[in-house]
Amino acid sequence: MPQNAENVLDHFELFRQPEYKEMFEKKKQFENPTADAELERVCEWTKTKDYRDKNFAREALTINPAKACQPLGAVFAAVGFEATLPFVHGSQGCVAYYRSHFSRHFKEPTSCVSSSMTEDAAVFGGLNNMVDGLANAYNMYKPKMIAVSTTCMAEVIGDDLNAFIKTAKEKGSVPAEFDVTFAHTPAFVGSHVTGYDNVMKGILEHFWDGKAGTAPALERKPNEKINLIGGFDGYTIGNLREIKRVFASMGVEYTILGDASDVWDTPTDGEFRMYDGGTTLEDAANALHAKATISMQQFCTEKTLPYIAGKGQETVALNFPVGVQATDKFLMELARLTGKPISAELAKERGRLVDAIADSNAHIHGKKFAIYGDPDLTLGLAGFLLELGAEPVHILSTNGGKAWAAKVQELFDSSPFGANCHVYPNKDLWHMRSLLFTEPVDFLIGNTYGKYLERDTGAPLIRIGFPIFDRHHHHRYPVWGYQGALNVLVWILDKIFDEMDHSTNEVGKTDYSFDIIR
């Protein structure tokens, strides 16, 4: 009997006991398994150039994509506003998925409601669902604002959010003056970053352009403030806190548009805070008057930034700035826009980051990396790797297209370390698998799903991205700013040193190189 009360064995050890191993063998005879030799042959074939060519010839099938759908990004953008309840119009299962997905990454609750449309709504439209749903959500959860977005179901049948919300207000679901923003976020267009963009733009339009015809449009009276939009960012907790510190250090007055750093990081002290922090609705409205808006992620704000620019603001689009030069650029843009000097404190932090890189870069120099993830994230990380003297040889994105690929190529061309590097737009992690087999790298950077690639190909995974389900709390650390870059540097180094130790720890075989000082 394998189990015992003193030392309870769970799935890690239990199924390795002889009783279970024997059971697995018995089960196999009912499974009609592939013969071992054939299995081995096919397994080896999947690692070849021939397989890679077939794999890259795919036109219809997507396997292990590194992207999610628009509505997920919609919820991300919405929860960043004060006491705002995301309301997703369409099938209810979608909302269960978004809530679970975010909770698995942030280890936090995510509050969001659905209009629970079913077959009758598919036939007759979801107006009643909107009317009842807004009334219920408003009464139960007492939000200050409701941000409506859609699932693919509502988009396919063509529900008109603007008209539905108007009707719901007329029917008294919520008070006429209550803020209900909306954005159409079809899951079959773009990805989660598109959904973020659409909802962010929808919220700004609501406040700036007269609340869907129910109030006068605001007139811009320019002030000296800076708006910052973080974009869909798995590190939003740490990053936005770091950005606030940077702004404070330079004495910049700012508004962060969509600040989820509190609601996804509430304390365990006996009280559940359904809402916490976030951009106040007043600040969202007044953000119109800001001098300029900085987007930390260009591809998360492709519609929002031009909209803001159209109001007369200057806009700056960055690509998930990580590292020395990217942070330099961010700070210099900030200084240029505000006329305020970069603080001595930040200059010192820069020096400390450069100091750390000088101390450690010998271990990174010349190492080959593969990176995958969202368009901006991959650009930011690739830029930092080039700075460290590493070669980001495969850069892949499922939701990055031609424009993204051109930017990545531009980045490669800017550094001698980019000479042998390639960019793969609109590809998935099964493509990456072929790349890692046929053109191996030293390290892989990506989200949790990269662990399957690590297992198959042996490329050690450094977990940076979204979602990260199987490691805890990294989202609480910044990766932006000089301090953030230091975190990224340490995560990369930790993996490199761990790998060095793992590959040199066999007594009597590789005693050398198992150094105590590195």
Partner 1 sequence: MSLVEPETIEELVARNKELIKEVLEVYPEKTAKRRAKHLGAYEEAKSDCGVKSNVKSIPGVMTIRGCAYAGSKGVVWGPIKDMVHISHGPVGCGQYSWGARRNYYVGATGVDTFGTMQFTSDFQEKDIIFGGDKKLSKLIDEVQALFPLNKGVSIQSECPIGLIGDDIEAVSKAKAKEYDKTIVPVRCEGFRGVSQSLGHHIANDSIRDWVFDKQAGKPARFEPTPYDVAIIGDYNIGGDAWSSRILLEEIGLRVIAQWSGDGTIAELEATPKAKLNILHCYRSMNYISRHMEEKYGIPWVEYNFFGPTKIEESLRKIASQFDDKIKEGAERVIAKYRPLMDAVIAKYRPRLAGKKVMLFVGGLRPRHVIGAYEDLGMEIVGTGYEFGHNDDYQRTTHYVKDGTLIYDDVTGYEFEKFVDKIKPDLVGSGVKEKYIFQKMGVPFRQMHSWDYSGPYHGYDGFAIFARDMDMAINAPVWKLTKAPWAA
DSSP 8-state assignment for residue 365: T
Length of the chain: 518
Question: Residue 270 corresponds to which tokens in the numbers above?
Answer: 């006996």
Contact status, residue 354 vs residue 378, Cβ threshold 8 Å: no
Q: Which residue from 16, 49, 50, 140 is in contact with partner 1, where contact means CB under 8 A?
A: 140
Beta carbon nearer to partner 1, 108 or 314: 108
CB of 27: closest distance to partner 1 in angstroms? Answer: 7
Task: State which residue, 131 or 486, has the beta carbon closest to partner 1.
Answer: 131
What is d(CA 296, CA 321) in angstroms, rounded to the nearest whole number?
7
Quick one: CA dihedral 233, 237, 240, 242, positive or negative? negative
- Find how far residue 213's CA is from the centre of its chain: 34
Given 51, 178, 491, 497, the residue binding partner 1 (CB under 8 A): 51
Judged by CB under 8 A, the stretch of 18-26, 175-183, 237-245, 277-285 that binds partner 1 is: 18-26
Q: Is 361 in the site for partner 1 (CB under 8 A)?
A: no
Q: Nearest approach, Cβ of 375 to partner 1 (angstroms)?
A: 15
Question: How many positions of this chain bind partner 1 (CB under 8 A)?
Answer: 110
Nearest one of 311, 235, 303, 277 to 479, comparing CA atoms = 235
- Contact set for partner 1, span 309-338 (CB under 8 A): none
Q: According to the binding rule CB under 8 A, does residue 420 interact with partner 1?
A: no
Residue nearer to partner 1 on the CB measure, 104 or 329: 104
Q: Give the sign of the dihedral formed by CA 100, CA 71, CA 376, CA 49.
A: positive
Region from 105-113, 277-285, 338-346, 490-498 binding partner 1, contact rule CB under 8 A: 105-113
Query: What CA–CA distance (Å, rounded) separates 351 from 413?
Result: 26
Annotation marks residue 156 as catalytic: yes
Give the pair of three-digit tokens for residue 302: 């492709």
- Cβ neighbour number for residue 491 with a 10 Å cutoff: 17
Find the part of the chain contacting partner 1 (CB under 8 A) among 38-46, 196-204, 239-247, 408-416. 38-46
Q: Does 25 bind partner 1 (CB under 8 A)?
A: no
In the set 69, 152, 174, 193, the catalytic residue is: 152
489 alpha-carbon distance from chain centroid = 19
Task: Find the helix or strand (DSSP H, E) in which 445 lies.
Answer: strand 443-446
Q: Which position among 113, 165, 250, 357 is part of the footprint of partner 1 (CB under 8 A)?
A: 113
Per-position x/- string for 200-229, each x denoting binding to partner 1 as judged by CB under 8 A, each - no binding: ------------------------------
CB of 508 to partner 1, least distance (A): 32
> Which of positions 184-203 make contact with partner 1 (CB under 8 A)?
186-189, 191
Residues 230-269 contacting partner 1, CB under 8 A: 266-269
**Under the criterion CB under 8 A, does residue 103 sit at the interface with partner 1?**
yes
Please say if 152 is a catalytic residue: yes
Contacts 24+ apart (CB under 8 A), 118-124: 118/91, 121/157, 122/153, 122/157
The packing angle between helices 481-502 and 344-360, to 10°, is 10
The reply to whether 122 sits near partner 1 by the rule CB under 8 A is yes
CB of 110 to partner 1, least distance (A): 7
Pairing of strands 254-257, 226-229: parallel
Q: What is the spatial distance between Cα 480 and Cα 153, in angstroms, rounded to a whole number?
A: 37
What minimum distance in Å lies between the beta carbon of 141 and partner 1? 7
Residues in contact with 52: Cβ distance below 8 Å, sequence separation at least 6, in sequence order: 434, 435, 437, 438
Smallest gap from Cβ 101 to partner 1, in A, equals 5
Cross-strand partners of 149: 88
Binding to partner 1 by residue 163, rule CB under 8 A? no
Q: Which of residues 372-411 bind partner 1 (CB under 8 A)?
A: none
Residue 429: CB partners within 8 Å, gap ≥ 6?
63, 64, 65, 66, 372, 398, 446, 449, 450, 452, 453
Rule CB under 8 A: is residue 167 a binding residue for partner 1?
no
Six token digits for residue 57: 């010839």
Q: Which of 48, 93, 471, 490 binds partner 1 (CB under 8 A)?
A: 93
Question: Of residues 445-484, which lie at the interface with partner 1 (CB under 8 A)?
Answer: 449, 452, 456
**What residues act catalytically?**
152, 156
